[in-house]
A and B are shown apart, each in its own frame.
Chain A
Amino acid sequence: MLGLFNTLNLGARALTAEQVGVEVTGQNLANASNPAYARQTVQFQTSTPTPSSIGMEGTGVEAVSIQQVRNQLLDGQIQSESSVGGYWNSQQTALQNAQTQLNEFLNLNSTSGTSGATTGTQGLSSQLNNLFNAFQSVATSPTDPSARLSLVDSAQTLASTFNQTSQNLSTLNGLLNTSVGNDVSSANQLLSDIAGINGQIAKATASGGNANDLVDSREQDLENLANLVNIQTTSNSDGTVSVSIAGQELVTGNKLSDTLATYDSGGGNLLVQTATSATPLTLSGGSIQGTIDARDGTLAALRNNLDTMASSLITQVNGIYKNGYNLNGNSGADFFTGSDAATIGVNPTVVNDPSQIQASGVANAGGDNSVALQLAQLGQQPIAALNNQTLSGAYAQDVQSFGNALSNANDQVTNYNSVNTMLLNQRDSVSGVSLEEETTNLITYQKAYECSAKLISTVDEMLQTVVAMKNT
């Protein structure tokens, strides 16, 4: 038999246990909106029973541990999905920016010119059409100064749009390099944080304590790091987690063995290597690689295509134009100057004096239009340097492949969002704090606490009865 004093102890133990329960519920409720938090539960255990003449007799309850409810499989999946999300989000951002810079938007409602013809787009496409139309106008009225002036105007607009687009895309390239640099420093900060938290966790575990809240912080850091760069993690027996990037272990326990650094792969384009051992890393996901792939893939192709188009335009137009004669009977000058999208320009002689345009195929026959006509027809002719497509056809294809890349990035981001939402919901269903559940637990602990207190006051009354027996 326990006896009244031991029963008092039993009540006291119960009060302590229920109090822990209320504390943990409080902690859960306080973190209900903290996305990094995994709910905690109290593990109760019956305390050691005492043998008695009628058998083993219970001595109440003890709170033995506070456990975190985590599913490591889901955590791992969320980490790797975070790399996927980082990769496509950064591609989407870079390409959306490039789409704005390219400025090729369709507008069926815009009208221009005296004939009220739809110009359709605001970018290079319509300006290229305008150039060839202006050649047509000169071919139709070879000596008309206004036709010549509008040709100079169209050519200048086209050239400056080429220059501006090329400049904008080059600026974007620079911004993407800056973004790679920033992401690498963020990743280094996270790696160092993870190593630090690992140290604290190892200490807490060694002294037998729990490190639940530190694990939450580390999990969030790992997910943020995975968003930047694809990582591989290994859990160690002391509660620490080792982190590798592209096969290089950078965090081992509480030690930060190496960090990331950028290096110039040529032309100012940054790639990633380890800082100390200078090993180039082949990354497979995360926003750093997404930015690099957007820069070296789609954006580089777009810039290259614009340059090819500009240089083909320059070569083809000048090739025909050189043989023409201007209104003064002179020949041999170039129409376009420069060699690519960044440098294309209109020969200043022509800009200053449109009568210098070499539209005629015969010397001193200003009314001849054979060169202007050939130039106008150039717009419809396949060009070998552009895979036997016309200039506008090749450009439409460039726009299409660029559009495909962005549209794919958009789809991937949408996919990622739905997969991520699903995984987060799954994790929340395991680790998330349910207000209903916690409220119910709170009531349970409160009632149990009240009842245990009742037990103590009952035993107290019994003891008073016992004490009172002696006086009578």
Chain B
Amino acid sequence: MRIAGTSFTDSMVSQLNLLSTRQYQLQNQASTGQTISAPSDDPAGMALALNLQADNSAVTQYSQNISTLQNRATIAGNALTSLQTIEERASEIATSADGTATPAQLQANASEVTQLIQQAAQLMNTQDGSQSVFGGTASGSAPFTVSTDASGNVTAVTYSGNTDVAPAAVSQIATINVDAPGENNSGTGARGIVSDSRYGADLFNHLISLQNNLLSGNTSAITSTDVQNLSKDSDNIIYQIASNGAAQTRLTAAASFASSQQSGLQQSLSSVAGVDLTQTLTHLTQANNAYQVALQTSSQIMQLQQYVLSTLP
């Protein structure tokens, strides 16, 4: 085959271009750690990567949901433990208010119970950010309102919340409900914390009754009614604490599931779009060598052409 003068330079330029492009691509892959950057690099791989990204992003959001819920569950759990302490003290007072107690003692106990009611109401108005923890899903910040008479005794504690709860998503298929309504006397739905007609729980009214009986010195009513009632309240609070604990356990499990899912997705992503560094660097070295060889042989051929010209007489 005849080789024209321009064939050399044309081939050389196109060959060097090809090798430069290859070096550029490999260098880019090595520095970004990715084999896919643009859709055209690997269309199917890109689509897979986008889907994995979407899953990964959703799982990341579930982790955030879980940590928000864990916060709220901890706040609720702490409030419930304190509530339990209040109820225990009230039960102690009720048990001690037998016929042997002096009227002065009963009066003192009555004012302690009043204090306990105020404390309990405060606890039941606990907030997580802008939302009441024990108000159901109702708007407004303080679901429990305490009414007192002229002498400061509590006459009523009213609940302005509702009986609904809002479950939140912790994975694609699971929702967890960490909240319980303050009161639920509707006969259905989540168990109310201080009041639930199904279980005979009605903490505030029972405490008010105790307060009133202490004030009037009606110890027999305390022994016959209030003690039993408060024990139902105690059971209800224990149930709530256990249920809060269970929710926290489920959240911990959901968090570890999300985190293992996340690391699995990250692994899939890097196997789809990530780079095998050893392989890439080896290919890069090969491309570098080929580029150098192409440059060397080209310059040798150029020198030969020079020689041909020098043979002219």
Interface residues of A (CB under 8 A from B): 32-33, 35, 39, 95-96, 99, 102, 104-109, 113, 115, 117-121, 125-126, 128-130, 132-133, 136-137, 139-145, 327, 329, 360, 362, 364-370, 373, 376-377, 379-380, 392-393, 395-397, 399-404, 406-407, 410, 417, 421, 424-425, 428-437, 439, 442-443, 446
Contacts of A126 in B (CB 8 A): 53, 57
Are A443 and B10 in contact, CB atoms less than 8 angstroms apart? no
Instruction: Give residues 270-303 of B contacting A (CB, 8 Å).
Output: 270, 273-274
B36 CB to nearest chain A CB (Å): 5
* Segment of B61-69, B75-83, B91-99, B230-238 engaged in the interface with chain A: B61-69
Q: Is B186 positioned at the interface, with any CB of A under 8 Å from its CB?
A: no
Whole-angstrom CA separation of A428 from B34 in the bound complex: 41
Are B11 and A425 in contact, CB atoms less than 8 angstroms apart? yes
Are A373 and B43 in contact, CB atoms less than 8 angstroms apart? no
Contacts of A95 in B (CB 8 A): 40
Decide: A443 near B312, CB < 8 A? Known: A115-B60, A407-B43, A410-B40.
yes
Contacts of B14 in A (CB 8 A): 417, 421
- Of B4, B167, B168, the residue contacting A432 (CB under 8 A) is B4
- Of A143, A399, A431, the residue contacting B131 (CB under 8 A) is A143
Q: Is B164 positioned at the interface, with any CB of A under 8 Å from its CB?
A: yes
- Of B33, B43, B172, B312, the residue contacting A403 (CB under 8 A) is B43
Chain A's closest residue to B71 (CB) is A141
Whole-angstrom CA separation of A431 from B150 in the bound complex: 117
Contacts of A435 in B (CB 8 A): 5, 305, 308-309
Are B6 and A429 in contact, CB atoms less than 8 angstroms apart? no
Are A364 and B313 in contact, CB atoms less than 8 angstroms apart? no
B2 CB to nearest chain A CB (Å): 4
Chain A's closest residue to B49 (CB) is A106
Chain B's closest residue to A379 (CB) is B58
Are A367 and B166 in contact, CB atoms less than 8 angstroms apart? yes
Whole-angstrom CA separation of A261 from B136 in the bound complex: 72
Are B6 and A380 in contact, CB atoms less than 8 angstroms apart? no
Decide: A430 near B63, CB < 8 A? Known: A106-B34, A143-B130.
no
B34 CB to nearest chain A CB (Å): 6
Contacts of B158 in A (CB 8 A): none
Are A133 and B57 in contact, CB atoms less than 8 angstroms apart? yes
Interface CB pairs A-B, < 8 A, 15: A104-B38, A108-B270, A109-B32, A137-B65, A139-B166, A140-B65, A140-B169, A143-B131, A327-B139, A364-B139, A396-B46, A396-B50, A403-B43, A407-B43, A429-B4
A11 CB to nearest chain B CB (Å): 21
Whole-angstrom CA separation of A329 from B140 in the bound complex: 12
Q: Is B221 positioned at the interface, with any CB of A under 8 Å from its CB?
A: no
B252 CB to nearest chain A CB (Å): 17
Q: A140-B68, A433-B6 are in contact. List 8 more A-B contacts (CB 8 A).
A: A104-B50, A106-B38, A139-B168, A143-B139, A327-B139, A399-B43, A421-B10, A437-B2
- Of A137, A139, A406, the residue contacting B40 (CB under 8 A) is A406
Are A137 and B274 in contact, CB atoms less than 8 angstroms apart? no
Chain A's closest residue to B68 (CB) is A140
Are A107 and B37 in contact, CB atoms less than 8 angstroms apart? yes
Decide: A141 near B2, CB < 8 A? Known: A365-B139, A400-B43, A432-B7.
no
- Of A125, A143, A429, the residue contacting B2 (CB under 8 A) is A429
B90 CB to nearest chain A CB (Å): 29
Report, nearest first, the 4 A-B pairs whose CB atoms are least far apart: A432-B4, A403-B39, A403-B43, A367-B137
Whole-angstrom CA separation of A133 from B269 in the bound complex: 20
Residue of B2, B9, B36 with most partner-chain A CB within 10 A: B2
Contacts of A107 in B (CB 8 A): 32, 34, 37
- Of B131, B175, B274, the residue contacting A142 (CB under 8 A) is B131
Q: Is B54 positioned at the interface, with any CB of A under 8 Å from its CB?
A: yes
Chain A's closest residue to B46 (CB) is A403
Chain B interfacial residues counted at CB < 8 A: 72
B73 CB to nearest chain A CB (Å): 12
Whole-angstrom CA separation of A373 from B58 in the bound complex: 13
Are B312 and A393 in contact, CB atoms less than 8 angstroms apart? no
Are A432 and B2 in contact, CB atoms less than 8 angstroms apart? yes
Q: Is B311 positioned at the interface, with any CB of A under 8 Å from its CB?
A: yes
> What is the 8 Å Cβ interface bit string for chain B, positions 18-43, against chain A (1 contact, 0 not)?
00000000000000111011111111
Decide: A362 near B7, CB < 8 A? Known: A133-B58, A139-B168, A393-B51.
no
Contacts of A402 in B (CB 8 A): 39, 43
Q: Is B123 positioned at the interface, with any CB of A under 8 Å from its CB?
A: no
Contacts of A424 in B (CB 8 A): 10
A447 CB to nearest chain B CB (Å): 9
Instruction: Give residues 127-165 of B contacting A (CB, 8 Å).
Output: 128-132, 135-140, 162, 164
Whole-angstrom CA separation of A78 from B143 in the bound complex: 85
Are B57 and A442 in contact, CB atoms less than 8 angstroms apart? no
Whole-angstrom CA separation of A32 from B14 in the bound complex: 19
Q: Is B101 positioned at the interface, with any CB of A under 8 Å from its CB?
A: no
Are B169 and A136 in contact, CB atoms less than 8 angstroms apart? yes
A401 CB to nearest chain B CB (Å): 7
Contacts of A104 in B (CB 8 A): 38-39, 46, 50
Are A432 and B6 in contact, CB atoms less than 8 angstroms apart? yes
Are A139 and B169 in contact, CB atoms less than 8 angstroms apart? yes
Whole-angstrom CA separation of A99 from B168 in the bound complex: 38
Contacts of A395 in B (CB 8 A): 50
Are B51 and A364 in contact, CB atoms less than 8 angstroms apart? no
Contacts of B108 in A (CB 8 A): none
Chain A's closest residue to B50 (CB) is A396
Q: Is B104 positioned at the interface, with any CB of A under 8 Å from its CB?
A: no
Q: Is B266 positioned at the interface, with any CB of A under 8 Å from its CB?
A: yes
Whole-angstrom CA separation of A417 from B14 in the bound complex: 9
Contacts of B172 in A (CB 8 A): 380
Whole-angstrom CA separation of A433 from B9 in the bound complex: 13
Contacts of A327 in B (CB 8 A): 139
B254 CB to nearest chain A CB (Å): 12
Q: Is B242 positioned at the interface, with any CB of A under 8 Å from its CB?
A: no
Contacts of A370 in B (CB 8 A): 166
Are A396 and B51 in contact, CB atoms less than 8 angstroms apart? yes
Are A137 and B64 in contact, CB atoms less than 8 angstroms apart? yes
Are B130 and A144 in contact, CB atoms less than 8 angstroms apart? yes
Q: Is B47 positioned at the interface, with any CB of A under 8 Å from its CB?
A: yes
Contacts of A428 in B (CB 8 A): 3-4, 6-7, 10
Are B129 and A143 in contact, CB atoms less than 8 angstroms apart? yes
